[in-house]
Structure 1
Amino acid sequence: MRRVAAQHTRTRDADDDGSVLILTLGYAVLAIAVILVCTAATSLYLAQKQLDAVADAAALAAADGFDLSVAGGEPVARLTDEGVRREAEAMIGAVSQDARLLTASTPDGVSARVTVAGQWHPPIVTVFVPEGVALESTATSRTALR
């Protein structure tokens, strides 16, 4: 009985040769794919946050581009579309080379609304997205003087 069990164990071991190597290679490929996806997702997230920061800075600078006048003995700050665009372009030119200004206007004469756009390219595997991904961010800021 022992001989039969020993022979059965030997034949089973001989049939299992190489299966651990295939599993190891499969898990290694899966781990590399997960790392690449996580790296690309993190890079995309950081690129969007950077574009958001540029839009915020441009809107804040544009809100300071007001024309000051006195009405009824009180100072009145009024924004114009030209002033908002001028200040937003100056700020974007100073802080970012990758972002471009899409729109800059004042919807109510007190707020500055700025929209900027950029392009994201994956850090490692660029063959899947050769043109990159278009990103856009809009920010609004109000003048301190009303």
Structure 2
Amino acid sequence: MLILTLGYGVLAMVAVLICADATSLYLAQKRLDSLADAAALAAADGFELTVDGGEPVALLTAAGVHSQAESMVAEVGGGAVLVSAATPDGVSARVTVADQWHPPILTLFVPDGVALAATATSRTALR
């Protein structure tokens, strides 16, 4: 009876450790998603304002998008790196960031590290 109880205790401990690692991975991905959203929003604010036919037009440039996104990731990235920052159509900014997750509790059932990436898009608006 003691061996069976010890076996279930070990099994329960392994389940708790795996759940802690899974929660850490989930939170790391959500933090990276938030960073990608913030960098895309900052990049979309880096537009050049021109007047075309009496109407103001906000135009994004690839250099402006990359500069704004790079400064945001450098400021609040916490180890994340900017993979790409571009404007596909001149009015939206698409940013991709990446990071590496390492489990807080090392077990035999969880890999030592997982590569994470997140992509976000934001559009400029003058209204």
TM-score tier by shorter-chain length is over 0.9
Matched, 1:58 2:33: no
SS of 2:100 mapped into structure 1:
strand
Aligned twin of 1:46 = 27
Taking only aligned residues, the RMSD between alpha carbons, in angstroms, comes to: 1.3
- Counterpart residue identity of residue 59, structure 1: A
Matched, 1:110 2:91: yes
Give the superposition deviation at 1:144.
Answer: 1.5
Aligned twin of 1:13 = none
Instruction: Find the aligned partners of 1:46 and 1:97 in 2 and give their Cα distance.
Output: 14
SS of 1:65 mapped into structure 2:
coil
For normalisation by structure 2, the TM-score amounts to: 0.95
Give the superposition deviation at 1:129.
Answer: 3.0
SS of 2:56 mapped into structure 1:
strand
Instruction: Find the aligned partners of 1:102 and 1:122 in 2 and give their Cα distance.
Output: 23
Identity %: 68
Aligned twin of 1:80 = 61
Instruction: Find the aligned partners of 2:3 and 2:75 in 1 and give their Cα distance.
Output: 54
Aligned twin of 2:8 = 27
Matched, 1:70 2:56: no
Matched, 1:129 2:111: yes
Computing the radius of gyration over CA atoms, which structure comes out larger, 1 or 2?
1
For normalisation by structure 1, the TM-score amounts to: 0.83
Instruction: Find the aligned partners of 1:124 and 1:36 in 2 and give their Cα distance.
Output: 7
Q: Name whichever structure is richer in helix by fraction.
A: 1
Give the superposition deviation at 1:126.
Answer: 6.1
With a CA cutoff of 8 Å and minimum separation of 6, indicate the structure with the bigger relative contact order. Answer: 2
Give the superposition deviation at 1:97.
Answer: 2.2
Task: Quickly say closer, same or farther: Cα 1:89–1:74, change in 2 above 3 A.
Answer: same
Give the superposition deviation at 1:36.
Answer: 0.8
Instruction: Find the aligned partners of 2:116 and 2:107 in 1 and give their Cα distance.
Output: 17
Note if contact 2:17-2:107 (Cα within 8 Å) is conserved in structure 1. Answer: no
* Structure 1 residue ranges, 4+ long, deviating more than 2 angstroms after superposition: 126-130
